[in-house]
Chain A
């Protein structure tokens, strides 16, 4: 028996222009089970009423449908804390992009999708922990007065990611990805995030191959749920950070261009990998626009985003898409430029509305953790386009990579498999042979394997940052199989024959007796010790 969905309180602002809010509330309740919907008088200016409604309804989670763009997160958070709710147990959705334009009917269906997406996102909310929250003054810098000695100005809380030790595989990729040295390694080996140094760029989440980072404002599982609903609408998705989306909404031209786009607000575009755009398309979206960072942004993800979008276009091109540039784009610059880019894509709607396999795509679950995000989306799109596909995309922005092994010099020692954090490289040993295999759908190109190879200088193992749909379709394949050399004395396995041959070659010029060479390569450890003791 399936569990009934968790109750979510949905408060709708009474000032939603053009909507019959009562009828809309009923439509929403019938579209999504487990909702308690209420029209709240002037919700945008009265967060307390919205939070009180959730509290009285006995709901742990609140979604607010706002008539305006001013999010009032700080006020909602303060009232949520006061009502005993989690400070991040609410999601505010601006329904302005669904308002009537030029007197036309409001996009009620879009509004329903936006609110259902927010509900899905909140249902995946697992709560914040005090250790993740960092206090911040709402208006710093206004403190120099006698009052500063006795009065704490208004404050709010920012949330930082936290590493879940149960999921963490200690690969250290998050630590490497963090540009602010906020992640460090404890003596126990656990990675910890210093909330005071974390600026919330989300790079660590993008880098983690096992989704071990939990972030109340942006856990991947929440975005997966949200994107799943929005992509299934078959509409156009707009992914942007809170700051840039707010800038667009405050500009009247850009605001008009947002009409009809379904926004996904992320803390920072640093966490949006190429796999996000591919997953959205594979999940049913007609197009995906990524909003670039403004000049003032200290995270400066602009060039990274462009590389990622170029990569996605190349992948779509290889798959056979006729309009890759219309499927995915970076909208950047001043609000007017962003508006132009969005309007141009919207105008070409007819050309881009027919990706093959639409009906199936809407049923696909979204995954935003690399490498599954890119690999899964590419494989799904290969099916949609009627695969198989020849050709590959070589790009520095590829979230996937291909490992090549020089068959002559690889000794199947397994050092590479030992350091591989995702299990893309795997060594299987039995009495007869050792087999090194590779699964292209698991490789994130972290480059841990190449320097770990003892034959590194001979370039025995190389990594290409590339996406090859055919290799992805093959699944796990054998890179090298080596017979095992057996002990001349007892017949037990000694080591892979290739490794023993390598040892012989290395010791060939050495001034050692043939007897020693013989003992090292032809006897197992026990028999070698026995021979030495005689």
Chain B
């Protein structure tokens, strides 16, 4: 019988995961010319490798999003910009689809400040800071949180490739903590809001569905590899040790 349950390369998967985080993050940014080009570039990169994720549950929704992007021409960009303004920007943080974690989870009080401070702490601990490209967006903007996850995935891929078990463990624990304390707590809610605010056939509808599927998968996946210690801290064990 053929081996129907395949295994997967965790280095490739880490890079692929990073690209998906980046794609979704860019999808939520205002599609100014530069950002839209970056989004299409990431989509093209992802199209090359997404087949490797065909066994995962987020695959159909991601493919639907990539297909939607492939069908977008230059003439459509203005329409997408308009929709973005409609969904996210008309009333700033009071809009129904506020793309900020503090607005979704913390209201305007001290909790909002705590959320932002906690996020900045994560960024700093990973040795990252907001660049000029982030513009005026605060650190709890959905695009920045997802770009941070993308950076962590890239760090994980490098650490795995270099067989730096301790570093893999450290990065994984950051990924899991950031997912559980931030991304997974509010992104499904934002995605549901976007789904109700827009057509399911359009770009933002598909972005929302893909985001929900992705976040659900990512939390389970990172939790699993962290729990099962798939970073091989026990590298000292001889190769082929059947333990």
Contact = CB atoms under 8 A, between A and B. Distances in A.
A145 B58 contact: no
A156 B239 contact: no
Nearest to A195: B220
Contact of B228 (A45, A134, A137, A145): A137
Given A45-B1, A150-B9, A84 B60 contact: yes
Nearest to A132: B216
Contact of A48 (B2, B58, B234): B2
A146 B232 CA distance: 7
B6 A133 contact: no
Interface in A116-158: 129-131, 133-138, 140, 143-146, 148-157
A247 interface: no
A79 interface: yes
A135 B217 contact: yes
A407 B25 CA distance: 64
A81 interface: yes
A252 interface: no
Contacts of B225: 152
Contacts of A129: 216
B221 interface: yes
B116 interface: no
B96 interface: no
Contacts of B8: 151-152
A137 B243 CA distance: 17
A150 B4 contact: no
B10 A152 contact: yes
B7 interface: yes
A146 B165 CA distance: 10
Nearest to A151: B7
Nearest to B13: A152
B7 A130 contact: no
| Interface range for B | 35 or more
A45 B214 CA distance: 32
A130 to B, nearest CB: 4
A131 B10 contact: no
Interface string B1-20: 11011111111010000000
Interface in A59-116: 74-75, 78-79, 81-82, 84, 87
A47 interface: yes
B7 A152 contact: yes
Q: In terms of DSSP, what is the predominant structure of the interface of chain A?
A: mixed
B241 A78 contact: no
Nearest to A135: B220
Contacts of B5: 74-75, 78, 138, 154-156
A46 interface: yes
Most chain B beta-carbon contacts within 10 A, residue among A46, A148, A154, A156:
A148
Interface in B199-237: 212-214, 216-217, 219-221, 223-225, 228-232, 234-235, 237
Interface residues of A, number: 38
Interface in B46-91: 54-61
Given A143-B229, A149-B235, A150-B9, A81 B59 contact: yes
Interface string A416-456: 00000000000000000000000000000000000000000
Given A135-B217, A135-B224, A144-B243, A79 B4 contact: yes
A130 B58 contact: yes
Nearest to B56: A81
Contacts of B127: none
A400 B241 CA distance: 58
A390 B217 CA distance: 56
A47 B5 CA distance: 11
Most chain A beta-carbon contacts within 10 A, residue among B1, B5, B10, B163:
B5
A197 B229 CA distance: 18
A146 B163 contact: yes
A367 B7 CA distance: 42
Contact of B232 (A47, A130, A143): A143
Contact of A150 (B1, B10, B221, B228): B10
Contact of B240 (A46, A133, A145, A156): A145
Nearest to B165: A149
A145 B213 CA distance: 31
Most chain B beta-carbon contacts within 10 A, residue among A75, A150, A157:
A150
B168 A47 contact: no
A196 interface: yes
Given A145-B239, A151-B8, A196-B223, A131 B188 contact: yes
A143 to B, nearest CB: 6
A312 B217 CA distance: 43
B163 A87 contact: no
Contacts of A145: 232, 237, 239-241
Given A130-B213, A131-B216, A196-B220, 8 more contacts: A47-B4, A81-B56, A135-B217, A138-B5, A149-B231, A150-B9, A150-B10, A150-B11
- 6 closest A-B pairs by beta carbon, nearest first, are A130-B213, A154-B5, A148-B232, A149-B232, A75-B4, A130-B216
